[in-house]
Amino acid sequence: MVCTADGLSAWKDFPKGLKVLLLDEDSESAAELKSKLEAMDYIVYPFCNENEALSAVSIRPESFHVAIVEVNINNNDGSFKFLETAKDLPTIMTSNIHCISTMMKCIALGAVEFLRKPLSEEKLRNIWQHVVHKAFNAAGKDLSESLKPVKESLVSMLHLQLENGEPKNEHSDKSEDASVIHENDPEPSTAIDMYSAPSTPQLEQGGRLLADGDCQDHSNCSPETESCEQDRESKSVETTSDNIIAEVTAPVGQPQGPRETSVKKEADLVDGTRDENTMCSQAQNGVNNKDSHAVDENPNSVSGIHSSFPSKANRKKLKVDWTPELHKKFVEAVDQLGIDQAIPSRILELMKVEGLTRHNVASHLQKYRMHRRHILPKEDDRKWPQRDHVQRSCYPHKPIMAFPSHYSSHVVPVGPPYPVWGPSPHPSSIQMWGSHSYPPWQPAESWHWKPYTGVHADAWGCPVMPPLGYCSTFTQNASVFHCSGTVDNRSGMPQNSVEHQLAEEVVDKVVKEAINKPWLPLPLGLKPPSTDSVLAELSRQGISTIPPHINGRNLS
DNA sequence: GTTCTAATAT
DNA sequence: AATATTAGAA
């Protein structure tokens, strides 16, 4: 069933406290409207002057939840301007003008509804629907500040209702923008009204609460988990803007680590028991009770950072998200120790990341080593071929060793040790050793392993390149020119001489690989070159015979 | 007790 | 797919 009585009781006062910006140049009508709205517990901010209204909206958009703007023959432009300015504010246009094209224009410009005057209580009563609608349908980013709290409060209400049928009102504690206040309001709205959509045609509902990945969910503890006890107040839904994952930044021991490390953790709420939909199938509301992510903070960690909502903290087991940042720290620690001295406990020490456990590190280390084992053996016999080869391709590679055992202390990478991972523009979305987008340093360090190591290893062996980054890498699925970052050698042709050269190098390398190791598959997208063309190319480079091992590399 | 590794669970 | 967890051996 959709709603329990309790749920409704939580809802019925909903509009109360919603802030309505009212722009009506007719002061009389404005006053009337205001009183009607206030009778319904809306908070009204009347404006007679559109400029004032505009500046109010511009300056403090978060101060309003919904706007009612009057359009008249004289102020068309102003009204439209308002619509443009207050895009994030659900705006209801109202007018004495009953001109379809005006209506259309308003709607086209983003008005959520067009209401003819006079505005009856009936028409006004449920304008809150627009607020809710917008709150739930706006993509996370587009959600205006004023709507977030509303959305969260609503989510909270629904959630609670779904959880235990007994709404709690904690959410109203959110003072900042006390948009929602519950009190008794004798006046029962009908359930139908409550949940029906605004009269305005609704476009797509894609962004509904649950469907939308970026909606924050609120945690839900599954019955069988012990976690319930700990989140004594987990039920209380924070109305802060925190979403899905809280970044817990551990202000590490300030001593030497200038910047804090952050361990992103996400609660791992497994709500395996029942399907989310069972609870509340009120799809119409778009409110569902999906599994949720709890926002949480590292238990041990760090106080300070997100102190705003301290207790949401511990939920269940926290999973370490090995972000590029964190991984970088890890790698730095490993390097600092030397690969053979790098044991979990020491790495952990060096990393100085609060909340991180030895186990976490061990686990990561295990994986790290595995990757290296796959990748590095291919490199360890590679030398610095630059000089002896025509196309000194990039085998340079970093001194990091192949096998831990052989490799003792570490190496100073040519470039920044583990350059660019950190401030990666796409922090979490890309996997560090994902199949594309390598950070520049990655080739050498890459954890990536692929079936065609033969061919690819070369590419990955690609070095840490000189600043200029003349080196290119090639792999069929991941090749990247870090240098310029612009050319995709899979498809595009080089666009300038430098790149052209790079491309040639790539070609050379591939050709050589192919000749050298004919049993290996060719990179995708490459057709086997004809023998002639290969020979021609080689001869063009002054290589008239095919040496057994072009790179002087040993296959064994 | 710690580490490493592999296997397995989440 | 990435991590965690576990277990056995060193």
In tens, the pLDDT along A422-471 reads: 333 334 334 454 433 333 334 334 444 333 333 333 333 333 333 333 33
Place of tokens 């290893």: A457
Place of tokens 């309505």: A20
In tens, the pLDDT along A37-84 reads: 888 888 899 998 888 888 888 888 888 889 999 988 888 777 888 888
pLDDT at position A91, please? 92
The side-by-side arrangement of strands in the sheet containing A43-47 is A43-47, A19-23, A66-71, A91-95, A113-116
> Which tokens is A154 given?
């609503």
Distance CA A371, CA A382 (A): 18
Give the mean pLDDT of A522-544.
51
Cβ-based neighbours of A285, under 8 Å, separated by 6 or more: A2, A158, A195, A209
Please name every residue paired with A168 in a beta bridge, in sequence order, or none if there are none. Answer: none
A346: CB within 7 A of chain B nucleic strand: yes
Distance CA A223, CA A416 (A): 49
Does the predicted TM-score (pTM) go above 0.95?
Answer: no
Nearest to A478 by CA among A435, A441, A524, A449: A435
Query: In angstroms, how far is B8 C1' from A146 CA?
Result: 48
CB A149 within 8 Å of CB A180: yes
Per DSSP, A59 falls in state H
DSSP-based helix, strand, coil % in chain A, nearest 5: 35, 5, 55
In tens, the pLDDT along A155-201 reads: 665 554 443 433 333 333 333 333 333 333 333 333 333 333 344 33
Give the mean pLDDT of A255-269.
39
In tens, the pLDDT along A473-499 reads: 333 333 333 333 333 344 333 444 444
Of residues 372 to 431 in chain A, which lie within 7 A of strand C by their beta carbon? 431
Tell me which protein residue sits closest to nucleotide B2, measuring alpha carbon to C1'. Answer: A345
Give the mean pLDDT of A412-418.
34
pLDDT at position A445, please? 41
Nearest to A239 by CA among A468, A503, A17: A17
CB A13 within 8 Å of CB A37: no
Nucleotide nearest to A320 (CA to C1'): C3
Query: In angstroms, how far is B8 C1' from A363 CA?
Result: 14
Please give the mean pLDDT across all residues of chain A.
Answer: 55
CB A462 within 8 Å of CB A397: yes
Query: In angstroms, how far is C8 C1' from A273 CA?
Result: 33
Nearest to A282 by CA among A166, A162, A178, A144: A162
In tens, the pLDDT along A266-321 reads: 333 333 333 333 333 333 333 333 333 333 333 333 322 233 333 333 344 577 88
In tens, the pLDDT along A92-147 reads: 999 888 888 888 888 888 899 999 888 888 888 888 888 888 877 765 555 666 77
A196: CB within 7 A of chain B nucleic strand: no
pLDDT at position A68, please? 92
How far from A325 is each of A201, A209, A401, CA to CA, in Å? 46, 31, 22
Per DSSP, A457 falls in state H
Nucleotide nearest to A319 (CA to C1'): C3
